[in-house]
Structure 1
């Protein structure tokens, strides 16, 4: 089974190497400067819960303030406690060019000690931007994917997260965000992955279609493009540009290691200098076999438990392999697979290669 998996890995990597870099549309590798979403956040109440709401004091205070807005005043000293209400935070993303009347999906999260929001309804709550202005109003019934149950003996089971839910199309946009899209004589395209070569190729591709000096590569990220002032013409103009195909530059040689999951990604352009590696396994086993020590028939004393520890060290024979000058990704993977290294061992090998200067790539640990 291991051999089959290794062969599949080598075949997949070989296919990726032979595929090479393919042309990409500008809309897939760039963004238009200033055309961006905005985050919205709010605070509100979820009502109608079946006894799974909050017991904290600020939820009661919020409930009292809401009743006061409807002309209902509770007697002084009254602190309403209801397990059918929960205080929640609400957040949503306002997409670029959103207009008043459009609908947004919102996510609702409990901020108190409510055990579940299932079956609840969000009451009208304003959603504000970073400038403190209200850009949308949210309200609606929650869709909760989580489930929780508790028995009389204290046993409890929870599936997913019942304290977070969503309200599809639960917010109505009330205010639009001004966009710099139609201002000035230029548009700026920003690459998702900064690269000087790709930036130059984008400018050359646009100039090849529209004429010289229409596009200028500003730096590794930005390309400035001359554009018409009329907004409707600018939309048509950009629709042509974003469908142009450009061949991105080859990626920087990188090896990415996720130390928590054992995932290792080796980039296509990774190379190693001539080097030899030895890889050996060391196994340490500690066995605890406690023994009871009893005194003689007529001797005084108590029975005691004496610890007996056995330690075994098993050092497997090491494996050695060498890389020739300019060894490729496929050769590295094939050699390490022949050694039979586990992900943890492969991490150690790659780190040692980097420290020795033999690994010609950036090593990133996440």
Structure 2
């Protein structure tokens, strides 16, 4: 397992022979950012799931009884809340994501979660539920049968459960009633937003865009925003202008990072992470404490005497083993891949690898950002 881990990390750290990343790696602009105004919108609603086979909310849930009474009043049925007794209904919260440029009549997926004490939503039907945005306006209506993908059955204290039966979904369960406006052109300019802000990458994007047109139209405003002016000849062909920009290639700059997950013992490092001159001494001190319990029995003539009993006598021994420390020395310009190979030779464990990286960072020899999860 130890050998497999170190070999896996070595393969991740060395993208190319010699541990150097390719300088010709370039990506499309649409893969590293987006235009301003292009965003999703969150929708949420409160509704009822009916048709549950006795697994709905209990009578203690007043919100369920009040919601069901409100629904029945729309059909000219006036029933007091205290007279509503049903375990086939559950109050639920409904969420959805309204994509950009969605049109009226389009259908989107919804997620339904129990908001009460229902045991399962299996077999339930969501009643028509309005989905509202942050401005309180209704943008979609959701309704349909729930797809749970789990179950929960119990009898006499025995419970069998698979997945989470109190969460379900309805594919295409909501119909958009009001389209969300997306304004990408403001004052005759577009804004390109980087997914990972970086000043060098933003400058390269502006240079690539200016090189793709006959006039300078782009300028980097900050590490995450590039302002793009629309030339006069492209004003009536905005879609084509944006398509041409998205298709441009640029080489993004990458910050050297080493990600460490202490819970799983995982270390992920980029190929361009280098080390300064450093010497690592790795050793282990193993202390083993073993206790044996012996029972002392009284001799036969004294067994029946007053106050005579068996006695448990612990015997403890301590073993200390300190193997000689093994040293690893790395020269200037060594990479994390070189470090992995060196630690692989001395058979260091993944936990030791994490501790060594933390020590190298504290010593100032790791030329990267160390992220501990």
TM-score for both structures, normalised by structure 2: 0.90
Q: 1:314 aligns with which of 305, 316, 321?
A: 321
1:155-208 CA-to-partner distances (Å, cap 9, x unmatched) read: 223222111111000011111222222442110101111111111111111111
Matched, 1:71 2:76: yes
User: Which residue pairs with 1:187 in the alignment?
Assistant: 190
CA contact (8 A) 2:20 2:272 kept: no
Which stretches in structure 2 are left out of the alignment for 5+ residues?
Answer: none
Q: CA deviation at 1:314?
A: 3.2
User: Which residue pairs with 2:125 in the alignment?
Assistant: 121
2-structure distance, mates of 1:287, 1:92: 59
User: Which residue pairs with 2:255 in the alignment?
Assistant: 252
Matched, 1:327 2:334: yes
1-structure distance, mates of 2:56, 2:235: 50
Q: CA deviation at 1:277?
A: 1.1
Q: CA RMSD in A?
A: 2.3
Aligned pair in 2 of structure 1 residues 241, 73: CA closer, same or farther (>3 Å)?
A: same
Aligned pair in 2 of structure 1 residues 18, 351: CA closer, same or farther (>3 Å)?
A: closer
- Of stretches 143-152 and 296-305 in structure 1, the one that deviates more from structure 2 is 296-305
- Of stretches 77-86 and 114-123 in structure 1, the one that deviates more from structure 2 is 77-86
Which stretches in structure 1 are left out of the alignment for 5+ residues?
Answer: none
User: Which residue pairs with 1:83 in the alignment?
Assistant: 87
1-structure distance, mates of 2:29, 2:351: 39
1-structure distance, mates of 2:357, 2:101: 47
User: Which residue pairs with 2:365 in the alignment?
Assistant: 358
User: Which residue pairs with 1:300 in the alignment?
Assistant: 306
Q: CA deviation at 1:23?
A: 0.9
Matched ranges for 1:125-204 at <5 A: 125-152=129-156, 154-204=157-207
2-structure distance, mates of 1:214, 1:127: 41
- Of stretches 3-12 and 350-359 in structure 1, the one that deviates more from structure 2 is 3-12
Matched ranges for 1:78-117 at <5 A: 78-117=82-121
2-structure distance, mates of 1:215, 1:101: 37
Aligned pair in 2 of structure 1 residues 204, 155: CA closer, same or farther (>3 Å)?
A: same
Q: Which structure is richer in relative contact order (CA contacts within 8 A, separation 6 or more)?
A: 2
Q: CA deviation at 1:300?
A: 2.5
Q: 2:49 aligns with which of 7, 24, 46?
A: 46
Aligned pair in 2 of structure 1 residues 135, 228: CA closer, same or farther (>3 Å)?
A: farther
Q: 2:352 aligns with which of 316, 325, 345?
A: 345
Alignment coverage as a number of residue pairs: 363
Q: 1:282 aligns with which of 259, 262, 285?
A: 285
User: Which residue pairs with 1:15 in the alignment?
Assistant: 15
TM-score for both structures, normalised by structure 1: 0.91
